[in-house]
Amino acid sequence: MILPADGKALTQVGLKAMRAGIPVVNLDRIFNTPQAYRCWIGGDNYGMGLNAGHYIGEKLKDKQNAKVVELAGLDNLELTKQRTQGFDDALKNYPNIEKVARQAAEFTVESGQAKMAQLLQAQSQIDALWNHDDDQGVGALRAIEQAGRDEFLMVGGAGALSAFEAIKADNGVLKATVLYPPTMAASAIDLARALGQGKGVGGLAEFEIPSSVTCYSAVVDKENVDQYMSTGFK
């Protein structure tokens, strides 16, 4: 099982293993060719944005002229573009909501704090914030606290334990986070074991494991956070 920092850079490793008869489970960052892996499992970046948008949309559907802002990740990554596209597509279902600003951060606490401070300074009215990543969200929450702003709801992304704990405490703006499932690595190990044993996946009729598995981006809020608490990453 391989989780590459850069799928393109490790494609040749996957190809070498597959040609040697060693099945490869490619986790998350996909190799350049399906010949380099037997099975890919990863998250749904478009689905993250889509579900974040629908969650916010349902919370604000009765508010006239609602305004939302977006704190994205690195704009040179395809995954960031997919998360934004999903969010924008979801908001099309809510004509009363306008996305008034977007800042791209760098998936770090420091960048999240700096970019969120800029958003807060520029926008006098915010009804909701979609933040792509719970790590940079730690910084965003610092900026929000420093600015003394609490009039809006915040939705995060990924599934950090700190986010789950804040959602459960329910004493701040963070009300939900959309999973980029932290459990997918464990599932990749299960798939590798099934491959080694020549088994399929329980509950499916096929004798072989699928060639790809896209994990669902569930929304975790106060209603279901206890169910996910044990899966949060630190």
The pLDDT averaged over each successive group of 10 residues in the chain (234 residues) is 93 98 96 97 97 98 97 93 98 98 96 98 97 97 97 97 97 97 95 94 92 97 97 93
Give the model's pLDDT for residue 5.
87
Cα–Cα–Cα angle for 221, 3, 138, nearest 5°? 35
Tokens 């300074």, residue located = 121
- Between CA 143 and CA 149 the distance in angstroms is 9
What is the spatial distance between Cα 33 and Cα 12, in angstroms, rounded to a whole number? 10
In DSSP terms, which residues pair with 221 in a beta bridge?
A: 176
45-180+221-231: which CATH topology?
A: Rossmann fold (3.40.50)
Q: Are 80 and 72 in contact (CB under 8 A)?
A: yes
Helices (H), 23-147: 45-60, 78-91, 109-122, 134-147
Handedness of CA 130, 84, 94, 98 (dihedral sign): positive
Show me where the domains of the chain are located. Answer: 11-37+182-215, 45-180+221-231
Kindly list the distances between the CA atom of residue 234 and the CA atoms of 15, 46, 185, 229, in Å, as whole numbers in the listed order: 33, 24, 15, 11
Tokens, residue 227: 């169910």
Give me the helix-helix angle, 109-122 and 134-147, nearest 10°: 40
Global pTM reads 0.93
- Contact (CB, 8 A) for 72 and 106: no
